[in-house]
């Protein structure tokens, strides 16, 4: 595929600068990898280095630096880059058929234009919405409801009675509706508490590879519209997660945590159970949250504190080595003074 710069500017609803009529764009790539016939993008703090890229053209915001090459100005360069990826590298087409090697229960309800690949399993009472793709070796349990326009990649497990919204993406190996971690200890023996609830995913949710969302003990574990989980994220039983949250890899949220909207959890961050976290918060990587959190906070460290306070503490910790040297020198000096007396 080749596109002119003007065609790309029109596609992105952007403004073209320094047009080169002879240049035809053959693809999109990163700042370092892009070649003379490819287009790339930059956002702060990388804008100051974009002039070093070999890319034939760049996507920048209106306020970004001027360049000596073609530039398409858009309000959101990262979003524009994502749209060009879809244009130049369209997703793989999947044949919309039900493979004879798949198992589909007789009473399962299958929508229009659905693909179910070999060795996938769709159990009794399950429902699959229109335009959904179920890849090989995926398991859709009894009475599960999967919405329209979903993608369920290989080796995904959606257990009984769970609900998947519309346009959801379930990446390989994730488990929706595994048992919650519930036990009663009696005379030193841990006795399993039956997990009778389910998991409900909203619309436009994405669950990363090998992530796990536990079914509720009773009721539902809920993930709201637009929330995205990276790989190896765990949400415990009876969690209620709002809309448009981001969970980076290896986040751990135990049971009965309520999370609002538009929060970001950095990699390996975690919380204790049975707390409430508000809206528009950023939880830094490896932060340990041990109490309720309000709105509009940036937290770091363990136990959690404001990011500014955490930076102050880290700055002081770096000076401990020099401080110990000073203390030892003072101790030596005091010892010598005592000898003189």
User: Which residues are annotated as catalytic?
Assistant: 237
Is the Cβ–Cβ distance between 90 and 38 less than 8 Å?
Answer: no
Dihedral angle at the C-alpha atoms of 205, 231, 222, 270, nearest 10 degrees?
-140
Per-position b or e across 59-88, b if 16+ CB within 10 A of its CB: bbbeebeebebbbbbbeebeebbebbeebb
What 3-state class would DSSP assign to 294? coil
DSSP states of 213-268 as a string? EEPPSSSEEEE-TT-EE-TT-EE-TT-EE-SS-EE-TT-EE-TT-EE-SS-EE-TT
Q: How far apart are CA 25 and CA 72, in angstroms?
A: 12
Tracing tokens 């003072």 back to the chain, one arrives at 330
Q: 5-12 vs 77-88: helix axis angle to the nearest 10?
A: 120
- How many Cβ atoms sit within 10 Å of the Cβ of residue 307? 17
- Cα 79 off chain centre by: 16
Q: How far is CA 61 from CA 42, 248, 266, 340, in A?
A: 9, 26, 26, 72
Q: For residue 91, give the DSSP letter.
A: P
Number of C-alpha atoms within 13 angstroms, CB side, residue 139? 14
Largest CA distance in the chain: 99
């Amino acid at each position: 595929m080749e596109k002119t710069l003007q065609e790309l500017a029109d596609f992105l609803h952007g403004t073209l600068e320094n047009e080169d009529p002879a240049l035809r764009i053959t693809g999109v790539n990163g700042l370092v990898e892009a070649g003379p016939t490819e287009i790339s993008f930059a956002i702060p703090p990388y804008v100051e280095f974009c002039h070093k890229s070999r890319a034939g053209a760049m996507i920048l915001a209106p306020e970004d630096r001027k360049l000596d090459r073609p530039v398409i100005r858009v309000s959101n360069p990262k979003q524009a880059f994502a749209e060009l990826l879809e244009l130049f590298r369209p997703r793989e087409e999947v044949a919309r058929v039900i493979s004879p090697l798949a198992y589909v229960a007789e009473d399962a309800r299958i929508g229009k234009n659905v693909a179910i690949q070999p060795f996938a399993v769709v159990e009794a009472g399950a429902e699959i919405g229109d335009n959904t793709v179920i890849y090989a070796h995926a398991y859709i349990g009894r009475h599960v409801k999967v919405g329209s326009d979903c993608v369920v990649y290989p080796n995904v497990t959606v257990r009984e009675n769970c609900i998947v919204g519309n346009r959801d993406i379930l990446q390989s190996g994730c488990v929706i509706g595994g048992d919650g971690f519930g036990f009663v200890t009696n005379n030193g023996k841990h006795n399993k508490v039956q997990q009778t609830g389910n998991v409900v995913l909203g619309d436009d949710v994405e669950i990363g590879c090998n992530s796990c969302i536990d079914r509720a003990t009773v009721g539902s574990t809920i993930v709201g519209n637009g929330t995205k989980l990276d790989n190896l994220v765990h949400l415990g039983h009876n969690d209620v997660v709002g809309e448009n949250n981001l969970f980076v890899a290896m986040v751990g949220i135990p049971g009965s945590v309520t999370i609002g909207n538009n929060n970001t959890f950095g990699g390996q961050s975690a919380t204790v159970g049975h707390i409430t976290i508000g809206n528009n918060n950023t939880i830094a990587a490896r932060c340990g949250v041990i109490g309720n959190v309000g709105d509009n906070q940036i937290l770091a460290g363990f136990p959690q504190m404001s990011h500014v306070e955490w930076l102050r503490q880290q700055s002081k910790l770096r000076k401990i080595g020099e401080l110990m040297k000073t203390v030892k020198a003072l101790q030596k000096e005091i010892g010598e003074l005592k000898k003189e007396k």
